[in-house]
Amino acid sequence: MPIHVPGVRLGVAQAGIKNPGKDDLVLIELAPQSAVAGVFTQNAFCAAPVQVARTHLQQTGGAIRYWLINTGNANAGTGDQGVQAAQRSCVDLARCVDTSEQAVMPFSTGVIGEPLPIDMLSGSLPEAVEDLNEYGWERAASAILTTDTLPKLASRQVEIGGRVVTLSGMTKGAGMICPNMATMLGYVATDAVIAAPLLQALIQSAVDASFNRITIDGDTSTNDAVVIGATGVSGVVITEEEPDQFLVFDTALKDLCLELAQAIVRDGEGATKFVEIQVSGGGTCAECDQVAYTIAHSPLVKTALFASDPNWGRILAAIGRADLDGLDVNGVTVSINGVLIADRGSRAASYTEEQGVAAMAPADLMLQIDLGRGEASSVVWTTDFSYDYVKINAEYRT
């Protein structure tokens, strides 16, 4: 059950963009004086709403009042017409709620390449405004879903300077997930007082340690965005001049983002496994990442995970093609859920197939790779590749 955040109201409407009778429009209102920050997709084909949202955030210096989100249509690959539609949604909302169009950030998710039905969207704005309430988190979190099977919400409360600060967030995404800066739609709100530049630094570092370390299929979305709003209603001020309080907030925010990011992986398209890949003993973090992502994206590893097959040869093959300069394979060890499988580049003397089968059986797996050539490490979360992954993505538009 998410905890409401003082200063934040959410409203939902049925615009008919997705399917008739389905919630597909979400409006999130932040109290006046709120500060907002965000990170966006690095995909060169970034969607029209991402372009407009980024511009409005810059133009206002973070003084954003509304996040407007539609599902059913990504408004991506739609050219100038798409940008105009995204802008018009901001203008129309601004007129409804008596604010400036720059105080609105638009977000879209759904099919790429279809024109956004802007008249349907704008026509249902009054319904969303009418519905605004502090307790709308759960309905909103369900309304932003596409191929997701479950809403993804998380909350934290921390005590700072004797007062309680709340953080709540919601996210969506189950496919086209390999965020590079942010993942397709995450919304976090807090009632702390935080200046926009510091809020930007906080959300960037939290996203780097959470949303930017998950991958389902290696396909970075055109619409990725994670935003945070600080309403300030609690009166608790977070600044770097108070390092103890800063650390409490920073830790709570990172923790919240990690819970939301891992919820995306657990709800990955067709996923039957939740897999943590830890790579240690690297010369640099970058080379640990190279190994972790090569394993996480290997279709042969992912299908073996689906089959609960301890086919560690495929893991070795993926490590071997990760393009590390001068990798000595005789220094590499691999463990699955604590069972040592490969030692110094070949099968561990102690290993038996029975151990491997038992280690692979759980739905939660931890692969640990030690490269044996340094002190750096990294971690990535991913899923397996199942029949359902193919089914979901072969039938997505039909």
Q: Does 321 bind a second copy (CB under 8 A)?
A: yes
Stretch that binds a second copy, among 98-106, 228-236, 260-268, 380-388 (CB under 8 A): 380-388
Structure tokens at 44: 């060169």
Decide whether 219 or 242 has the Cβ nearer to a second copy: 219
Decide whether 153 or 178 has the Cβ nearer to a second copy: 178
Q: Does 312 bind a second copy (CB under 8 A)?
A: yes
What whole-number distance in Å separates Cα of residue 1 and Cα of residue 151?
A: 11
251 assigned to active site:
no
Token pair 């925010």 is found at 253
Structure tokens at 316: 């070795």
Site for a second copy in 31-60 (CB under 8 A): 42-46
| Binder among 76, 184, 258, 292 for a second copy (CB under 8 A) | 76
What whole-number distance in Å separates Cα of residue 287 and Cα of residue 209?
A: 17
What whole-number distance in Å separates Cα of residue 316 and Cα of residue 369?
A: 10
Site for a second copy in 226-285 (CB under 8 A): none
Give bridge partners of residue 270 from the DSSP assignment.
none
Query: Cα angle at 233 between 200 and 160, to 5 degrees?
Result: 75
CA distances for 311 relative to 9, 264, 301, angstroms: 50, 26, 8
Query: Cα angle at 313 between 308 and 318, to 5 degrees?
Result: 100
Nearest approach, Cβ of 306 to a second copy (angstroms)? 5
Helix/strand number for the chain, H first, E second: 12, 15
Site for a second copy in 336-355 (CB under 8 A): 342, 344-347
Structure tokens at 261: 């990011």
Nearest approach, Cβ of 222 to a second copy (angstroms)? 5
| Binder among 307, 361, 362, 363 for a second copy (CB under 8 A) | 307
Alpha carbons within 13 angstroms on the beta-carbon side of residue 52 total 29
Q: Does 314 bind a second copy (CB under 8 A)?
A: yes
Structure tokens at 362: 């759980």
Q: Does 11 bind a second copy (CB under 8 A)?
A: no
Decide whether 117 or 320 has the Cβ nearer to a second copy: 320
Among the listed residues 183, 220, 294, 333, the single catalytic one is: 183
- Where does this chain bind a second copy (CB under 8 A)? 42-46, 74, 76-79, 81-82, 111-113, 175-176, 178, 180, 217-222, 297-300, 303-304, 306-307, 309, 311-314, 316-322, 324, 327, 329-330, 342, 344-347, 385-387, 389-391, 393-398
Active-site annotation, residues: 183
